[in-house]
Amino acid sequence: GGFCVYTDGSGFEGGVGAAAIAWNGNREGEWRTKHLGTEDEHTVFESEVAGAILALDIVKSTPRLTSVDIFTDCQPAITALTAPKPQPGQYLLAAFSPSIAAPPHSSHPQGLLPMGTSSCGHPR
């Protein structure tokens, strides 16, 4: 079967973090969170990309997938992940690309889908 994974990244009270949660039909599935560090060390854009990496971790750990849609609310992250170029957070973009190019089994993410648009702390 297939499912959807929703991602988000944000800054709150001086910290920056990311999360991803999978939904299969109306049921909540696996979820992941990651605290990246302080707002002095990391950007919200980095946290949005980290959320996409967490989504791929969920996909890798789920056997027998036939389809996966990954949703994010950060248009700059979608652009950066699908057409990488030198910019802040490059180390995260480099971690994402091999993961999506080499899925662990026959199914793989069909793509990143926008849930809306946000500047997500990244210059347009």
pLDDT at 67: 82
pLDDT, mean of residues 12-27: 90
pLDDT at 123: 38
Which structural domain range is residue 19 located in?
2-114
- Of 29 and 36, which is predicted with more confidence? 36
- Of 73 and 105, which is predicted with more confidence? 73
* Domain assignment of residue 43, yes or no: yes
- Of 70 and 100, which is predicted with more confidence? 70
* Domain assignment of residue 41, yes or no: yes
* Domain assignment of residue 121, yes or no: no
pLDDT at 65: 78
* Domain assignment of residue 123, yes or no: no
What is the number of domains present in the chain?
Answer: 1
Chain CA centroid to CA 80, Å: 11
Residue 23: CATH number of its domain: 3.30.420.10
Q: Which of 100, 57, 69, 99 is nearest to 2 (CA)?
A: 69
pLDDT at 48: 94
SS3 of 12-47: the string is ECCEEEEEEEEEECCEEEEEEEEEEEECCCCCHHHH
- Of 110 and 34, which is predicted with more confidence? 34
Indicate whether this model's pTM tops 0.75: no
- Of 46 and 27, which is predicted with more confidence? 46
* Domain assignment of residue 42, yes or no: yes
pLDDT at 108: 38
* Domain assignment of residue 122, yes or no: no
Residues with Cβ within 8 Å of residue 56, at least 6 apart in sequence? 70, 96, 99, 100, 109
pLDDT at 50: 94
pLDDT at 117: 38
Residue 49, SS3 per DSSP: helix
* Domain assignment of residue 124, yes or no: no
* Domain assignment of residue 120, yes or no: no
